[in-house]
Amino acid sequence: DLIVDDDRTSITVPALKQAILDNLFYVVGKRAEVATDMDHFMALAYTVRDRILARWLTTKGDYVKHHMRTVHYLSAEFLMGPHLANNILNLGLQEAVRQATSELDLDLDLLIKQESEPGLGNGGLGRLAACYLDSLATLGVPAMGYGIRYEYGMFHQTIRDGWQVELTDYWLRYGNPWEIRRPQADVEVAFGGHTQSWRDPFGEYKVQWIPGEVVKGIPYDTPILGYRSGVANTLRLWRSEATESFYFERFNSGDYEGAVGAKVFAENISKVLYPNDEEIRGKELRLQQQYFFTSCSLQDMIRRHQNAGHAIENFHELCVVQLNDTHPSIGVAELMRLLIDIHGLGWDKAWEITSHTFNYTNHTLLPEALERWPLPMFGSLLPRHLEIIYEINARFLSALRERFPNDEDRVARMSLIDEHGERYVRMAHLACVGSEHINGVARLHTELLKSDVLHDFYELWPEKFINVTNGVTPRRWLAVSNPEQTELMISKIGQDWIGDLDRVSQLERYAEDSAFRADWRNVQYAVKVRLTQYIANTTGIAVDPKSMFDAQVKRIHEYKRQHLNLLYILTQYQRLKKTPGLEIPARTFLFGGKAAPGYFIAKLIIKLITSVAEVINNDPEVNQQLKVVFLPDYNVTFGQLVYPAADLSEQISTAGKEASGTGNMKFAMNGALTIGTLDGANIEIREAVGHENFFLFGLTAAEVAAKKAAGYHPHQIYESNGELREVIDSIVSGQFSRGDRNLFRPLVDGLLNTDPYLLFADYQSYVDCQDQVGKAYSDQEGWSKMSIYNAARMGRFSSDRSIQEYCRNIWNITRFGVDAPQ
C-alpha cells in the first residue's frame, strides 16, 4: 500500500521537470525568467518533498497499525546539516534529478549550495543524533526524534583581525521547505507557581500544581528518509508560543505589561541554542528549554499511545526513550508527574513504568560539563518536580542504606541532591536512577564511566552499564560528500556498501593493486582541488593541492589540543628557518572550529592559529613547504568539503578526555590516515585499520592519571627540551603578535605553570610521530595502501552498527522494517 508514484509525484525526468516548474510558480510564486538560485532551490526542495510525503504518511500509519515498539530519541540538539542532497540520495533520485535540472538549464550543485543548514547543535552530540536518525530510518526502526526548533541556531563565526567574532544564525530567513507545522498537535507546558496537597474522599494523598506561567509547544515535523528503505521517520521539533488564554486574561484585565511579559517569556524559550563549553550552570532559560521540550515530548508520546488505543499502564511496553545526555533527564520526574498527577496512577506503578522507559547516554567525563541546577532556582521553576525528586531520592537512599549499611559517605556521594555547600540537583544521578540502561560512547569512555565518574552507580547496578561505540552515517559522510571516491568504489565493488558498510571490506584487495592505487590518488587529488578552490574563494590563500592536507576540524577546546598541533607547526618553522632548504614534504595545515563565546583561552587559540598563519604564509623562506589555514565558520556543510580532502586527520586529545570523537571516523572512511592518541574511539579505529596503518603517539589515559597524581611539572619539560623551549620563547617574543609580548601570555603561562591537558608531556612523542608521518607521505605508494586499508576497514564505524547495538542491547527492538515482521 505504498503509493509513491502518482500523477503528481512521478519520478520520470519529464515529470520532475514539470514539478520543478509547477512548484516554482505555485509555491514559490515566481516565473522562471526572474527566479533566483534560491527560488530554484526552493522549487526543487518542494519537488523532492512531494516525493517523500507518501512514504512518510504510510510509515506513520504502519507503526500504529502494527503496534510497534517505538524509540523516542530526546535530544536538545540535532545538527542535521542540509537536507536536499541527502534526500535525493536516499530516494534514489540522483540521476533523474541531475538530468531534469540540467534539461532546465539549472546547475544542481549550485542549487544544493543555496540551502542554509539547520545548525541546531554545537558539535559531536548534536551531529550524533542526526546520524542516528538516518540509521534508524535506514534500518526501518520505528523511531521519532524530539527536540527544540531554535529560531537561532549555532552562531556564525567570522574572523576579524585574527579573532573570532560571532554573528547570529537566523536560519529560517528564506523559509524551511522541509518542515510542516502541526498546530493541532500542540501541548501546554507550565512553569513556576506552587503546589497544593490534600486528601481525596478515599484518603488518597493528592497534589495539584498551580503554575505561574503556561506556554504552548507547537510541533514542527521534518521527514527523515531511510536510505532506499521506503521508510520516512519523523523529527519533531517544538516551538514555544504564548497561550491565547494567559495572554488575553492579563490583557483584558488591563495588565498590558504582564501580557507582554508573558508573551516574551513564552517566545524566549525556543529562541536560541546555547553554545556549550560555556558555563551553563545557573542559566535559568536553559533549564526552561530542557523542561519545555521534554514535557512537550512526553505529553505527545502519551497522547499518541492512548490515541492508538493502548492503556497508560502499558506505556513502557510500546515506548522507549533515549536521553541524549542529561539535557532531557528532567523527563524522569516529568513522566512520574504526568502518570501520578494527570493520569491518576499510584507511585509504584508510575515508577515501574518510568524506570522501564528511560535510558541514558553519557557523552562527556569533563567535570565542568556535568549538569547541576541550583536548588532554589530549580524549586521556583519546577516546584512539583522538586517534590517528586525528593521522593525518588528518599526511596533511592533508603534502598542504598540497606545495601550498604553504615556508609553515609556513599549516600552523600550518590544522592540526587548535592549538599556540599550550595545545594544542587544532580541531573546525571537523576538519569542513572531513572534509567534501565546507562551507556558510554566508546569502549574506553564506558570503562572510565564505570571506574570513575559513575563508579558508585556501577557498584550498585553493574547490569545497567553498557558500551555502544559511536558511528557515523556513510550516506552523508561518504556517498553525498565524496562523490568522486564513491564512484570509484562503486566501479569496483558495487554500491551495496552504502546501505551495509561492512561490505567496504571488499575494497581491501585493491590496496595491493597499483593501477587502483593510481586511480585512488587521482580521485584524492581532484577532491583536494575542490577544497583548494573553496579556500582561495573564502580566504584568498593559495594552497597547493599536491601538498599534504593535514586537518583538524572540531570545536576549539583545550582538551582537544589544537595548540599542540600549533607547537609542531612552529617546531617545523624553526627548523626551516635554521636550515633553509631542509627536505620536508609540503604540508597544508587546515584548522576549523568555533570557540564558545565566553571561553577566552579557546578564542586566544584561534588568534594564535591565525597569527602563526599570517607569519608563515607570508614568509617566502618557508611558504613553499608550510601553509596554515584557519577556515571560518566550520559547520556540517563545510565538513562535507573537508573530510574527503584530508590526507591526515588530527585526533590528538589528551587521553581520557574525548569521549569518542566522530570526526575521526568521517576522515578515515574517506581514506585519511589518523595521527592520534589512545583516546575515545581512536583506540577502536586503530584496532580495526591495523596498528601499521595508524600514527600513534602520547600517554595513555592511565599514564595521564598517574602523571597527574605523581605531580606534573611542565616547566621542567620546557627547561630540558631545546626545541620546545625555542617554540615557546618565539610565541612570547612577540614574533607572531607584531611585537606584543603580552598577547599570548595567558595561554603560555597556563602551559608553563599547570598545563592541565599535558601538551608538554606529549610534545616530543607528537613531534617524532609527525616526523614519521612526513616520511611516510614521501612514499606515495605506501601511503595509498594505508589509505585504502583505512577506508576498507571502517565498516564497524557506520552508525547502522551502533543503532543495531542499541536495538539489541538497550531498546529490545527486534522487528526491523514494517514489511518484515520476523
Residue 223 vs residues 50, 67, 97, 133, 741: alpha-carbon distances, Å: 11, 20, 19, 10, 54
The one catalytic residue in 70, 243, 588, 662 is 662
Shortest CB 301 distance to ligand 26V, Å: 24
CA-to-CA distance for 439 and 442, rounded, in angstroms?
Answer: 9
What is the number of other CB atoms lying within 10 angstroms of the CB of residue 287?
A: 23
Q: CB-based contacts of 439: which residues, under 8 Å, 6+ apart? A: 359, 360, 361, 362, 446, 465, 466, 467, 468, 810
Query: Which of 216, 363, 557, 627 is labelled catalytic?
Result: 363
Q: Does the annotation mark 554 as catalytic?
A: yes
CA 332/CA 293 separation, integer angstroms: 13
Q: How far is the CB of 643 from ligand 26V (least distance, A)?
A: 15
Catalytic residue list contains 666: yes
Q: Give min distance, CB of 652 to ligand 26V, in A.
A: 13
Residues that bind ligand 26V (CB under 6 A): 123-125, 128, 276-277, 280, 325, 363-364, 366, 368-369, 441, 470, 658-662, 680
Q: Which is nearer to ligand 26V, 213 or 325 (CB)?
A: 325
Q: Return left, alpha or beta for 162; rule: phi > 0 is left, psi -120 to 50 is alpha, else beta.
A: left
| Catalytic pick among 72, 554, 603, 801 | 554
- Minimum CB separation of residue 660 from ligand 26V in Å reads 4
Nearer to ligand 26V, 213 or 277 (CB): 277
**Which distant-in-sequence residues (6+ apart) come within 8 Å of 294 by Cβ?**
74, 328, 330, 331, 334
The CB-nearest residue to ligand 26V is 124
Catalytic residue chosen out of the listed positions 666, 785, 793, 801: 666
Euclidean distance between CA atoms 195 and 205, whole angstroms: 13
Q: Let me know if 555 is a catalytic residue.
A: yes
Beta strands in 340-472 (DSSP E): 358-361, 372-374, 417-418, 424-426, 435-440, 465-467
Q: How far is the CB of 326 from ligand 26V (least distance, A)?
A: 10
Handedness of CA 389, 394, 399, 402 (dihedral sign): positive
Q: Is beta strand 205-210 parallel, antiparallel or unpaired with respect to 180-181?
A: unpaired
Nearer to ligand 26V, 189 or 280 (CB): 280
C-alpha distances in angstroms, 272 versus 79, 120, 262, 269, 330? 14, 9, 18, 8, 20
Query: Cβ of residue 104: shortest distance to ligand 26V, in angstroms?
Result: 41
Nearest distance from C-beta of residue 314 to ligand 26V, angstroms: 32
Task: Give the nearer residue to ligand 26V in terms of CB position, either 368 or 819.
Answer: 368
DSSP state letters, 141-209: --EEEEEE--SB-SPEEEEETTEEEEE---TTTT--TT-EE-GGG-EEEEESSEEEEEE-TTS-EEEEE
Record the cell numbers describing residue 3, joined without a space: 503509493
304 as an active site residue: the answer is no
Q: Is 420 a catalytic residue?
A: no
Residue located via cell numbers 541532591: 417
Closer by beta carbon to ligand 26V, 535 or else 596: 596
Helix (H, G, I), strand (E, B) or coil at 467: strand
Shortest Å, Cβ 822 to ligand 26V? 30
Based on CB atoms, which residue is closest to ligand 26V, 223 or 661?
A: 661
In angstroms, the CA 113 to CA 155 distance is 19
Q: Which residue number, 125 or 478, has a Cβ lying nearer to ligand 26V?
A: 125
Pairing label, strands 587-592, 626-631: parallel
**CA–CA separation, 133 and 145 (whole Å):** 7
- C-alpha cell at position 141: 526502526
Separation CA 724–CA 43 (nearest Å):
57
> To the nearest whole angstrom, how small is the minimum distance from the Cβ of residue 679 to ligand 26V?
9
For 404-469, where are the alpha helices, taking DSSP H only? 408-414, 427-434, 443-448, 455-460
Residues 6+ positions from 466 with CB-CB distance below 8 Å = 437, 438, 439, 446, 809, 810
Q: What is the smallest separation between the CB atom of 293 and ligand 26V, expressed in angstroms?
A: 17
- Considering the complex, state which of residue 80 and residue 743 has its C-beta at the smaller distance from ligand 26V: 80
Count of alpha carbons within 13 angstroms of residue 555, beta-carbon side = 24
Select which of 555, 594, 793, 801 is catalytic.
555
> What is the closest distance, in whole angstroms, from the C-beta atom of residue 410 to ligand 26V in the complex?
27
Buried b / exposed e along 654-668 (16+ C-beta atoms within 10 A): bbbbbbbbbbbbbbb
Q: Catalytic site residues? A: 363, 554-555, 560, 662, 666
